Amino acid sequence: PVYRVMNSEGEMTEKSEDPKIDKTTVLKMYRDMTLLNSMDKILYESQRQGRISFYMTNFGEEATHIGSASALHPEDMVFGQYREAGVLMWRGFTLDQFINQCYGNTEDVGKGRQMPVHYGSQDLHFVTISSPLATQMPQASGAAYAFKRAQNGKCVICYFGEGAASEGDAHAAFNFAATLDCPVIFFCRNNGYAISTPTSDQYRGDGIASRGSGYGMLTIRVDGNDVFAVHNVTKEAREICVSHNRPVLIEAMTYRIGHHSTSDDSSMYRKKGEVVKFDTNNPIGRLRSYMVKQGWWNDDQENEWKEESKKMVMESFAKAEKRKKPNPTELFKDVYEEIPPHLQKQMDSLKEHLSKNEDKYPTQNYEAWSEH
């Protein structure tokens, strides 16, 4: 069964389950979901224009991000997969930080070393994303075990997709967390298609939730397009984690409206009509209907916010695009406290090569040696 609080018309179907979130918080939920949507549209198009190398949108899954993030404490540690930008946005990661990372410029906290959308923030307790599927899962179990030993009252949340759940790392993570009683929330975004594999080919059992009981974990399946339902289950899961030192598995049933990434063409494995059907029941529209019924939102506010949010993204986009790339010597740093001789030799060789062949490289786009 799927836990649901609000129907597609924005009406509370289970009055007793209404989280009674105040107007200010609900407006932040909506603005973050729609701002993420605006950023996705612009950065997706920028990749298509060749201005950035790669991008992944979050269309259709916004409620899984904001609903869960709003139920956590700011100091809880997050291990993401690669489609959880809304969690960072909720915590205060700015548009400048998002877009600087995608451009890999001098203001990117990752110093241009990561692919676009591989965000991270030590200040916001969000572990930097890595591309290989499910590697974050056993790491999350280990971090949660450390939290348990420290008795610090915090929990860990680990996001992953139903495709990643087919990896061996998922088994290891579930089993370690269960047997060591670790305060970790395993949050599965079941969006139907993994990278390109439909769930009918991904597993034969009853989704991902059915695996929880086999590991001895408390488990719930939730409507991932219902932001309030996601908020409720994550809030309860966190309480179980920190009060009882037990892992919890949440399976959020949602739908990936966009392509898997800019390297994907989802029309090759699903019908256009299917996408249109789910797009009309997206989580943003559902929350907007709720807000309108409460008298908290109207068409004028909607149009004004659309223009404002687009302007905000475009301003950050313009600034990020003008910034230079980090100096190439950054490739050799931050591995050792002091650069060892063999790396120093390679760095000196690179400098010499670039200085002799400046006409063959776009060195004007990079931070100069003198600035470094």
- Structure tokens given for 284: 């943003």
Report the amino acid identity of residue 277.
K
For residue 185, the number of C-alpha atoms closer than 13 Å in the C-beta half-sphere is 31
Order of strands across the sheet that contains 248-253: 126-127, 77-79, 156-161, 184-190, 248-253, 218-223
- Structure tokens given for 8: 């597609």
- Structure tokens given for 262: 């800019």
Active site residue 131: yes
Nearest to 4 by CA among 208, 193, 252: 252
Q: d(Cα 58, Cα 40) in Å, to the nearest integer?
A: 7
> Is residue 346 classed as helix, strand or coil in its secondary structure?
helix
> Is residue 187 classed as helix, strand or coil in its secondary structure?
strand
Q: What's the CA dihedral at 79, 82, 84, 86 to 10 degrees?
A: 120
> 11, 53, 131, 321: which one is catalytic?
131
Q: d(Cα 100, Cα 104) in Å, to the nearest integer?
A: 6
Phi and psi at residue 9, to the nearest 5° = -90, 5
H-helix segments, the chain: 23-48, 62-69, 85-91, 95-103, 136-150, 168-179, 199-202, 209-212, 227-244, 272-279, 283-294, 299-322, 341-356
> 65, 118, 231, 260: which one is catalytic?
260
Active site residue 352: no
Cβ–Cβ under 8 Å, residues 225 and 254:
yes
For residue 355, count CB atoms less than 10 angstroms from its CB and return exposed for 0-12, middle for 13-18, buried for 19 or more: exposed
Cβ–Cβ under 8 Å, residues 250 and 186:
yes
Q: d(Cα 219, Cα 223) in Å, to the nearest integer?
A: 14
Active site residue 261: yes
- Structure tokens given for 85: 């930008």
Name the packing angle between helices 168-179 and 136-150 (round to 10°): 10
Q: d(Cα 332, Cα 264) in Å, to the nearest integer?
A: 32
> 38, 46, 261, 266: which one is catalytic?
261
> 45, 274, 308, 358: which one is catalytic?
45
| Catalytic residue numbers, as ranges | 45, 131, 260-261
